[in-house]
Structure formats: C-alpha cells, structure tokens
Amino acid sequence: MSEVFIRATETDPAVRAAARVRHVHQRLLDRLEVLAGHGPGQDHALLTGFLDGEVRRHLAAADEALYAPASGAAETRLLVRALRVTAAAIGDLVGGAHAPGAAVAAARDVRALLGGLFAVEEEVLLPALAELPGAAVGTLVADLETLLDGGGLERPDVIDVRGIPRALRHPRIFARYARLAPGEGFTLVSDHDPVPLRREFETAHPGAFTWDHVESGPDVWRVRIGRAQE
C-alpha cells in the first residue's frame, strides 16, 4: 500500500527529508563556528582535524547520496556540476588550512561557502530530486545519514524486485543506478516486462543508461541496467 500524504506539508516525505538535511547541515555549521571562533588560543590541530575529517566526509557523502542521483538527469545535470565546483573549492580551502596561521581564516571561509552550498542543496537540489521519476528523497537522505555515520551503501549486482512492495521497487532501482560508476551495471529481476520503468529511465536519464534484456518471460524478466560510459 502506498503512503498517503499531502504535498508541501509535514506529511510529505520530501518535506520531512529536507528537515533532516537541514538538521545535519546546521549541526556541521554550528560546530565549525565554535571551532573557528576562538582567539589566539585556538587549537589548530583540532580545527584542521575537523576540516579534514568531518567537512571532507560530508562533501563526499553528499556527492554520493545526493549529487550522483541527479547527475544524469537533464533537469539537474548543470546544477550538480555547479554544486561540485563549489564543493571542490571548499576542498581546496580545507587543504590550505594546514599552512601556518591559516586554519582559522580558512575555516571561516569554508563555513561561508558551506552555508551557500547547503542553501542550494536544501532549496533547489532536494525539490528537484523529488520531481525526478523514480526518485525517493527520503531514501537518498537516509543514504546520506548512513554515510555520515561511517557506514556504506549496498551495491548488489542483482536486484530481485519480486519480493519488494510495488511502491518501493522503482525508488530502490533508481537508488542503485545512482551508485553506479560509468560502465558499471546491475541485473534487474522482475515478474513482468519493466516497460514503465524504462520509460522513467528515458525521462530521467536520457542517453545516460544502458538497457539489455537477458531473459524475456514468460514468468521472469531479467534486464541488465548500466550507466553509460562518459
């Protein structure tokens, strides 16, 4: 049974997911402000350790959990490129924080850039992801939280959807696709010809995916779905 909700209200999974992301963002910004806000007695080793650890971890997790699912869609491809340019600039600032006397200034610059990056993620990227066919923002945010907690995301070579509730099948498949590197793929096993799913892929990722039938019924369909080489 599908979840019933009213869009743009607190019952909307996308709204709940955005609130979770804002909490994660604010927690990181608050911690960075505290660490960078001290005077001459600032513990530079603690500050640079936070930048190298927590900030870099967050950038990598956001790229894997949020940017990657949007990178192949025509509507969000350019947005992801812009976000990645900003994330790379933040990474450069983090690297420069190790220079003598540079940690506090670098941390403050990092915090300023993160604030802008997070605003775009919350106000532009997440709503755009919610509109992509097959995307489940709640699942993507859960992936982000898993990565930030030090966990890893599953990358099964085979997804058998026959035992998965119908409402969860396409989000599970699109989430797996988002974790593919160019040239990689996985096998979908279904109890019907997944024509509607292919239409969603053609809408969300035109020209960016491969679709090869391995077995075509009458009881089981197997399709190898891949990310095209760039």
Domain 158-227 class, CATH top level: alpha beta
Which spans in the chain are helix H? 13-36, 44-50, 56-62, 68-71, 77-96, 103-120, 126-131, 137-148, 166-178, 195-204
> What is the pTM assigned to this prediction?
0.80
Q: Is the dihedral of CA 59, 63, 66, 71 positive or negative?
A: positive
Give domain limits for the chain. 13-148, 158-227
- Provide the 3-class DSSP secondary structure of residue 39: coil
Spatial CB neighbours of 181, under 8 Å, sequence gap ≥ 6: 227
- pLDDT-based confidence at residue 9 (cuts at 50, 70, 90): low
Tens digit of pLDDT for each residue in 106-161?
Answer: 999 999 999 999 999 999 999 998 888 777 788 889 999 999 999 998 889 999 99
Q: For residue 104, give the nearest of 18, 17, 41, 23 by alpha carbon.
A: 41
Cα(17)–Cα(28) distance, integer angstroms: 17
State the number of CA atoms in the 13 A half-sphere of 152 facing the CB: 3
Q: For residue 173, give the nearest of 227, 209, 225 by alpha carbon.
A: 225
Give the strand pairing for 158-160 and 185-190.
Answer: parallel
Tens digit of pLDDT for each residue in 155-178?
Answer: 899 999 999 888 788 888 988 888
